[in-house]
Amino acid sequence: MNTRPALSVTQAVRQRISTRGFLDRPIPRADLVDLLETAQRAPSGGNLQPWKTIAVTGAAKDEIIALAARVLSENPMAVIPMERPVYPDFKQVDPVYDQRRRRVGEMMYEKIGIPREDRAGRIAWFAHNYRFFGAPVGLFFIIDTRMGHGQWAHMGMYMQTIALLAEERGWGTCMQECWARLRDELHDHFGLDDHHMIYSGMSLGWPDPDEPANALYAERAPQAEVVEFRGF
């Protein structure tokens, strides 16, 4: 039962961060069912609702962690060629995007105190991703590969809706495209058909207030860099 005071949408948007450390405290199935039912109200062009979700906890989550450990033990940072890469080719786009990506990475490693030279430490930290940062719940978002770019955007709306609803419940989330690295393995593990693929994962649970990574409040570009007002 959620007894927390109501959270405004503005507060939820402002306080949501990527949570990278969770308490060992379960999320009751009924609460997750309720959240996902509400998230189904996310908009999508033509009301296609082009998302499917697999939620894992307990043994089902442990199986995925074990699968990831098996695959990644070979080479934790191997760059896997992907049909749908997580990032653009940074050489082709405005350098500001790569700068932002690097900046948030540096800010995070600064918070957790792992210097650039400690490559092994950074790799070890990154591997927390594949244990859902200790979260009790992992979500996987699946899209039909025949969908176009519009539907991928709508999937994003659905995911952000989940993240904001989680805030309201006092939970934290971390969206995790890192799972794209295991797309093929997860595809087989979940028994998806040929037309479906894992777009992204998401860790969900109670944030650990003592986790230094959770103190990162990632900066954003100044409004003038991204918004143009005309006719006001």
Ligand X SMILES: Cc1cc2nc3c(=O)[nH]c(=O)nc-3n(C[C@H](O)[C@H](O)[C@H](O)COP(=O)(O)O)c2cc1C
Residues lying near ligand X in the complex (CB under 6 A) are found at: 17-18, 20, 104, 129, 174-178, 200, 218
CA distances 173 to 16, 71, 72, 214, 228, Å, are: 8, 24, 23, 11, 31
CB of residue 176 vs ligand X: minimum separation in angstroms? 4
CB of residue 14 vs ligand X: minimum separation in angstroms? 10
Q: Residue 141 CB: number of other CB atoms within 10 A?
A: 23
Closer to ligand X by CB, 151 or 176: give it.
Answer: 176
CB of residue 50 vs ligand X: minimum separation in angstroms? 15
CB of residue 231 vs ligand X: minimum separation in angstroms? 31
Closer to ligand X by CB, 17 or 162: give it.
Answer: 17
CB of residue 203 vs ligand X: minimum separation in angstroms? 9
Closer to ligand X by CB, 17 or 39: give it.
Answer: 17
Closer to ligand X by CB, 20 or 136: give it.
Answer: 20
| 142 membership: H or E segment, kind and range | strand 137-144
CB of residue 164 vs ligand X: minimum separation in angstroms? 12
From the CA atom positions of the chain, what is the Rg in Å?
A: 18
Cβ neighbors of 76 (< 8 A, separation 6 or more) are 123, 126, 127
Alpha-carbon span 199 to 75, nearest angstrom: 22
Alpha-carbon span 173 to 46, nearest angstrom: 28
198 contacts 150 by C-beta, under 8 angstroms = no
Q: What single letter denotes the amino acid at residue 216?
A: L
- Joined together, the tokens standing for residue 166 give 């989680």
Alpha-carbon span 208 to 109, nearest angstrom: 17
Residue 158 burial by Cβ neighbours in a 10 Å radius (0-12, 13-18, 19+): buried
Closer to ligand X by CB, 34 or 131: give it.
Answer: 131
Closer to ligand X by CB, 57 or 176: give it.
Answer: 176
